[in-house]
């Protein structure tokens, strides 16, 4: 369970002392266990900033967030134990193979070497990584790197998943595999929060959606709730209306 309450964050404009860019303002939403929640918004809307705060990697200027009962500011270590986090454009250690990346991370999470190796093997199969499981990740394509980073986020079987644009760079089959995996995790009661600027991706997967635009949540709820609130018949129109675009953009 994730509860974000009135989160705000501004960054100093590079090369200035007093100019600030407001990245998010008063962002509030819930992501429940046993559901996939989609954070949908255009480029620069504040998705990654929100997810970095929820993953306890960035302090908000104001507001609070609680993940599985732990406050992200007061108890970041407990939050990190509960979550699997896929950062935007996640990096992996280039000198290690895919498998070594996974085992290394599993051991950092406190798993024994034996359990780490067993779990790494499971994830290599699950994520269809057999062809590059034992290759050093240096020179990997974006999709291959994303798959390793996703497997790494899942290695300790976390209760809550925070995935920043998880389908970024994945081909059709890998995307389908990922969707199936996220649905399985939902069925098992995990809380899954994903971000994307691709509306169809969010529509296909999510039970609930929070639409973010210019750093503010402009619509949230189940897809029928959002259609009702915007008086639209499909999510694409509702999204355009929610982010405040002109009717021409609805064509």
Ligand X SMILES: Nc1ncnc2c1ncn2[C@@H]1O[C@H](COP(=O)(O)OP(=O)(O)OP(=O)(O)O)[C@@H](O)[C@H]1O
Return residues touching ligand X (CB under 6 A).
11, 21, 23, 41, 43-49, 88, 197
Q: Based on CB atoms, which residue is closest to ligand X, 8 or 137?
A: 8
* Residue 222 β-bridge partners: 208
Least gap, CB of 140 to ligand X (angstroms): 21
Least gap, CB of 44 to ligand X (angstroms): 4
Least gap, CB of 99 to ligand X (angstroms): 29
* Cβ-proximal residues to 53 (8 Å cutoff; 6+ apart), any chain: 4, 7, 9, 24, 59, 60, 65, 72
Q: Based on CB atoms, which residue is closest to ligand X, 47 or 99?
A: 47
Least gap, CB of 41 to ligand X (angstroms): 5
Q: Based on CB atoms, which residue is closest to ligand X, 47 or 156?
A: 47
Q: Based on CB atoms, which residue is closest to ligand X, 39 or 111?
A: 39
How would DSSP label each residue in the chain? Answer: -EEEEEEEEEEEPTT-SS-EEEEEEEEEEEE-TTEEEEEE--TTSSHHHHHHHHTTSS--SEEEEEETTEETTT-HHHHHHHEEEE-TT----TTSBHHHHHHHHHHHTT--HHHHHHHHHHHHHHTT-GGGTTSBSTT--HHHHHHHHHHHHHTT--SEEEEESTTTT--HHHHHHHHHHHHHHHHTT-EEEEEES-HHHHHHH-SEEEEEETTEEEEEEEHHHHHHHHT-SSHHHHHHHHTT--GGGG-
Least gap, CB of 6 to ligand X (angstroms): 17
Q: Based on CB atoms, which residue is closest to ligand X, 102 or 193?
A: 193
Q: Based on CB atoms, which residue is closest to ligand X, 119 or 216?
A: 216
Q: Distances from the Cα of 194 to the Cαs of 34, 118, 163, 198, in angstroms?
A: 14, 27, 5, 11
Q: Are 84 and 132 in contact (CB under 8 A)?
A: no
Least gap, CB of 164 to ligand X (angstroms): 7
Q: Based on CB atoms, which residue is closest to ligand X, 45 or 243?
A: 45
Least gap, CB of 24 to ligand X (angstroms): 7
């Amino acid at each position: 369970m994730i509860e974000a309450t009135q989160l705000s964050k501004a960054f100093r404009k590079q090369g200035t002392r007093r100019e600030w860019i407001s990245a998010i303002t008063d962002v509030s939403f819930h992501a429940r266990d046993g559901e996939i929640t989609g954070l949908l918004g255009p480029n620069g809307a504040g998705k990654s900033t929100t997810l970095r705060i929820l993953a306890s990697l960035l302090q908000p200027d104001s507001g609070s967030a609680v993940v599985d009962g732990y406050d992200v500011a007061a108890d970041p270590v407990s939050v990190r134990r509960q979550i699997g986090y896929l950062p935007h454009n996640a990096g992996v250690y280039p000198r290690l193979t895919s498998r070594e990346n996974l085992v290394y991370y599993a051991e950092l999470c406190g798993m024994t070497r034996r359990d780490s190796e067993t779990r790494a093997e499971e994830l290599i199969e699950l994520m269809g990584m057999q062809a590059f499981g034992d290759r050093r990740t240096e020179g990997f394509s974006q999709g291959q790197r994303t798959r390793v980073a996703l497997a790494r986020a899942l290695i300790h079987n976390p209760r809550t998943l925070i995935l920043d644009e998880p389908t970024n760079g994945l081909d059709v089959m890998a995307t389908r595999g990922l969707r199936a995996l996220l649905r399985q995790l939902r069925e098992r009661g995990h809380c899954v929060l994903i971000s994307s600027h691709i509306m169809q991706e969010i529509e296909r997967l999510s039970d609930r959606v929070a639409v973010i635009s210019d750093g503010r949540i402009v619509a949230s709820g189940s897809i029928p709730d959002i259609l009702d609130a915007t008086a639209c018949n499909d999510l694409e129109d509702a999204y355009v209306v929610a982010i405040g675009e002109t009717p021409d953009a609805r064509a």
